Structure formats: C-alpha cells, structure tokens
Chain A
C-alpha cells in the first residue's frame, strides 16, 4: 500500500469522529505548548544571564596574568607567538590622570597602549588618526562629556538622579575636541600617592577620538598616551615620589589580553596559554560553568513539561484504542482480502502521528504567540502595577529553535509511543471474529 493511499485512508478515518479527534489534538496542543512555555522561562533566564556576562566583555578576549609578578614585554612576545592568537593588547596605567582645557577638567582613565595591537583587537577611531608623536593622544568617545566645568555649590540640590544627570550635561565641554591641545596635570586623585612639590603639566594634543561603544550603556572616557609620554610621566612623578619610581606595576603591564580570531578558538588558545603557566580568564570559561547549572535547570523544566505531554498522550492512547475497537470489522475485512499486519499497524501509527503532528504544530504556534504576548505585555504590567521598569532586554520567555526541536521530538516520540500499543492491537484483530462481527 502506497503512503499516499495510507494518508488518504487515515484522513477519511479521522473524519469519522471529528469531535473526539479535535479534543485529542487540543490536549496534545496544550501539552506541547505547556512544555515549550515552561522550558522557555529557563531558556530566557539563561539567555539573560549569558547576555549580561557577554555585555561587559568580548567573547574572543582572554585575560592573561602571571601566577606571581607582573606581565613583561617578554611575556607579551611569548603570547604573540602562540598559535591562534590574533593580537595581544597590553596597557600600562598611569597614576596621573587629570586633563583640562580652559575651565573644563576631568579625571580620566589614562594609559599607554600598543596601538597597532589595539587596532588588531578591534579598536576603531570615530575621528582623526592614531598618535605618531610623543605628545599626541587618543581619547574615548565619551571623554568630552566628562570634561566639565567646576560644579557650583548646591548645583544639584533637590534634583532627582535623572534630573541631576541632565543638569550635569550642561557643564560638559560642547565644542570640537579633535586637534585641540589639553593640559595634562601630572597629579593624581589616588590618596596613596603623595606627590611633593608643584604639579607639573604637559601639553597633549588630541589626534583621534575612539568610536562609540557598541553597548549603549558603556561609557568610554579612556585616554591613550604614547609609550614615550608614559615613560616621561613616570620619570617626572618618580622624582617627586620615590614609590612611583620603584613601583613594579608601573614599569610592567597592568593589563594583558590575548584576542583570538573567533570565539570558537578561545578554548584551544586558552589551553595553550595555560600550558605556558599563565593564568587565564575568558568569558567562555565563565559561561561553561554557568551553562552546566542552567542546563540542569532547563532539563528540570523540560521534565516537568514532559509530564503534561504524557498526560495528553493518554488521550491519544484512548482515542486510538477506541478507533481500533470501532474499526475492528474494517480491519478484519482488510486483513481477509490481503492487508498485512505491517500495513494495518502503519495505518494506525500514521493516524496517531497525524494527531501528534497537529498537536505539536498548533502547540508550538500557541507557545510562540504566548511567549511573544508575555514578553510584550509583562513590562507594561510591571510598569502599571508595580511602578518599576524592567531591565532593558528583559525576557520572561525565550524559545530558541533548539527548544522547539526538543519539544517536537518529545511530543512526537510520546505520541508515537502512545499510538504504538493500539496499532499493535489492531494487527492482532482476529479475522474470523471480525467477519462474524464478534469483536
């Protein structure tokens, strides 16, 4: 018997008791939708957590440290030779961090960096160029915002946090910064460092402004100075405070990061770096641990959801058992004229598979609609009734394709299992009893 004929046969059989059929499909639909929706909460929490971790770091970034001591130029060279490493960025942070132009002042994150490596690692300029001369600098995208006039007394009094932020913007530098010369004050707001004597200054010229960070909430007020300027600053400060001159962390790199070409290479490169006795930290490592907990959590939710599918499968079992009983005569006639037990079994399995397919299809659709509705309506409800704004990108339900695939597999598997016994029963229908209408 061809598949097309089996399909036609099954369709005409299914039409015989539509109410019962649709009730069974409805049970499967609800079971499947419940499974997906329940698990989607676990998937949403997992996704939110992963997004949260990833939003602060780059996926292909590996932080490298020595077990003892600071990272040196020699270490950087070793890292650069490791297979799969695209770039090694290294930074030295200066204790002097005040810059000013006219009456505008800021305490920024001043560091010397190897700019070719930074570029390789993905650093891009919004305007200008990279520094070529000693006193040229590159500033972060938000540097101008932090460059402010001194705040008058009681300037922010009585204002809410949001209002204060807006008010502070009024004090920010509004003009063009590119090619402007700033005064770099060789003093620090670090209370541990005591610089004696008058504060010396160096004129620096902004030749480049970094690109706006991809993450909207990120605030980039960093200042990149050249290695030569860094050495000069340390030398000047060292004369004023001997602690600076001898500080190991100022001579060596305060931060070294290895970058791979893609996230897939991170694990292998991390292993290679660790073999050289360095300590590493990467987002992949953190995610790996986190994924274990969330996988267990999601598996638990899927297990609970599968119970609903099992309950729905009892409906399919009953429907199919009744169908076999009702059609015993037909089965007997078919067997008498030449239908093999295999054909009979396949017809009934196909019928339960169709019920399952309808249930899974409608259930998945229902789950997607509900998920969309929940994610759309929940923030509104929270705002209305709790008067709180949920975090940006917050999701209560997330249905990735993998969850759909898992749910479809579970539902179809359970459906076929529940249809198996009635289908097997159909093959055992006694022809003679069926022909005598004794079954």
Chain B
C-alpha cells in the first residue's frame, strides 16, 4: 500500500541565501502492506510527523521516493496531490481540524462536495456515516458544541466518507481522554478488521501503538526499530 524508499528530508531555516539546513529524516525505508495498521512511534522532534507529512503530500520530498497504492507520488504537483488525497487518503488529526463554521453534517459532507457528488447521494451517505460513528443526533451541531471525542468521531466520519483504502492518522488520541481514546482505538480496529482499511498512525503513546500490527520507531530521523506486534488477519 505504501512504499517509502531512501527518503531523506531537511528543513531550511532562515532567510533565502543564508538558510540553515536542519536534517530531519535520513534514508528512511518503509513498507506498509494493504490491511495493516502500522504505528510510527518516536519522541518529539524525532521526525515522525515529517514522515507523515511527506506521505500526505503536505511537504515535497527532496531525496527518495514514495509510492502509494502503486502510484509514485514523489513528484506530484499541488493539484495532483489534492486530487490524490481526495480519492485515496483519509486523515485523522490530533486537533480534529474541523471547520468551525460548518455543522457536523457539513464537515462530514465536505469531501463529497469537493468530489462533486450530487445532493441526494451526499445526504444519504453523510447520514449513514454519522450514524456509523454514533452522531446521527448531533448532525446539526457545530464543532464548538461537541466534546473532544465527538469532534474526533466527526473527523473520522469525514475521513471515511469517500471509503479511502488508506487512513493517515497523526496522534489521533492526542486530544482525547482515556475513555474516548479506548473507544477510538476500538473503532480503528473495527474499521481495519471489517473493512480492511490500512492505517498509518503517528503516536508517541505506546499503548495506542499496541493496537497496530507493526510498530516502527524513528530515532533522530532514522528508522531504527521495526517490531511485529500482531499478525494481519485477512
């Protein structure tokens, strides 16, 4: 599903011409199979979020290549990346990233709107998805009127609405209490087991990482350790 080969990345800090180069990732190689949950763990500043941002297309790799679903995305333009993200990727963010002026329904519906799906189909699919995450009675609530757990469920519903084969999650439980964290992890497992969705999760929490089939650790920009935790059930 994901193939990262010899990926290196460095941030350029400072004014143009007088930039300081700060290396973040060094020669990273990572393979994620279809139906796998892979957790990338590491300390703050280790480069795990940068790896996810590179795989998401939010930043462009300079060295190495990234292939997702058989497509080499390393040299994609911004527009191509946007289309690719819409059609192939789902995102779960630590801080939910919901649009505050839109209701839960509208937030979940947004990918369908961007894809140009017609209104009746959108309504049907959004209602179904909100029901699936247990928020059917909160569809007209705005993010500010929902709890953290509910907001994260809206975020998951939005990530799933276009049935992407791959979900990239950046610290998905980072803003949740332990109860909501448990519920979310169960939901991720359920999605993986029942629908075969692949997850690439960034977390610094080893308990969260424990639901993954495989755990990889980044230390100072190097992918140091790879451990199989569970066998993938197909």
Residues of A within 8 A of B (CB): 1-2, 5, 9, 12-13, 16, 329-330, 333-343, 431-432, 435
Contact = CB atoms under 8 A, between A and B. Distances in A.
Contacts of B56: 336
B191 interface: no
B113 A5 contact: yes
Contact of B114 (A330, A341, A343): A343
Nearest to A3: B116
B78 interface: yes
B152 to A, nearest CB: 15
Contact of B85 (A2, A12, A338, A343): A338
A2 B158 CA distance: 19
B58 A334 contact: no
Q: Which size class do B's interface residues fall under?
A: 20 to 34
Contacts of B111: 337-338
Nearest to B50: A432
Contacts of A1: 113-116
Interface in B75-127: 78-79, 82-83, 85-87, 91, 93, 95, 97-99, 101-102, 110-111, 113-116
B46 interface: no
A156 to B, nearest CB: 83
B96 to A, nearest CB: 10
A432 B114 contact: no
Contacts, number: 63
Interface in B51-69: 53, 56, 58-59
Given A334-B114, A337-B91, A339-B114, 15 more contacts: A1-B116, A5-B116, A329-B99, A330-B101, A334-B99, A334-B110, A336-B97, A337-B110, A337-B114, A337-B158, A338-B82, A341-B78, A342-B79, A343-B82, A431-B58
A341 B79 contact: yes
Nearest to A342: B79
Q: Which of A12, A333, A334, A338 has the most CB of B within 10 A?
A: A338
Interface in B153-190: 158
Contacts of B58: 336, 431-432
30 contacts: A1-B116, A2-B116, A5-B113, A5-B116, A12-B102, A329-B99, A330-B101, A334-B99, A334-B110, A336-B58, A336-B85, A336-B91, A337-B91, A337-B114, A338-B82, A338-B86, A338-B111, A338-B115, A339-B82, A339-B114, A340-B78, A340-B82, A341-B79, A341-B82, A343-B82, A343-B114, A431-B58, A432-B53, A432-B59, A435-B93
A343 B82 CA distance: 10
Contacts of A2: 113, 116
Contacts of B101: 12-13, 16, 330
Contacts of A341: 78-79, 82
A13 B79 CA distance: 23
A333 B98 CA distance: 7
Nearest to B98: A333
Nearest to B122: A5
A337 B164 CA distance: 11
A338 to B, nearest CB: 3
Nearest to A12: B101
Looking at A336, A337, A340, the one whose CB has the most chain B CB atoms below 10 A away is A337
A2 B109 CA distance: 14
A340 B76 CA distance: 13
A338 B113 CA distance: 10
Contacts of B79: 340-342
B83 A340 contact: yes
Contacts of A336: 56, 58, 85, 91, 97
Nearest to B107: A333
A337 B113 contact: no
Contacts of A334: 99, 110, 114
Contacts of B102: 12
Contacts of B116: 1-2, 5
Nearest to A6: B113
Contacts of A12: 101-102
Contacts of B78: 340-341
Contacts of B83: 338, 340
A435 B97 contact: yes
A333 B87 contact: no
Contacts of A432: 53, 58-59
A338 B53 contact: no
Interface in B186-231: none
| List of 10 A-B pairs having minimum Cβ-Cβ separation, nearest first | A338-B86, A340-B82, A338-B85, A340-B79, A431-B58, A5-B113, A333-B97, A330-B99, A432-B58, A2-B116
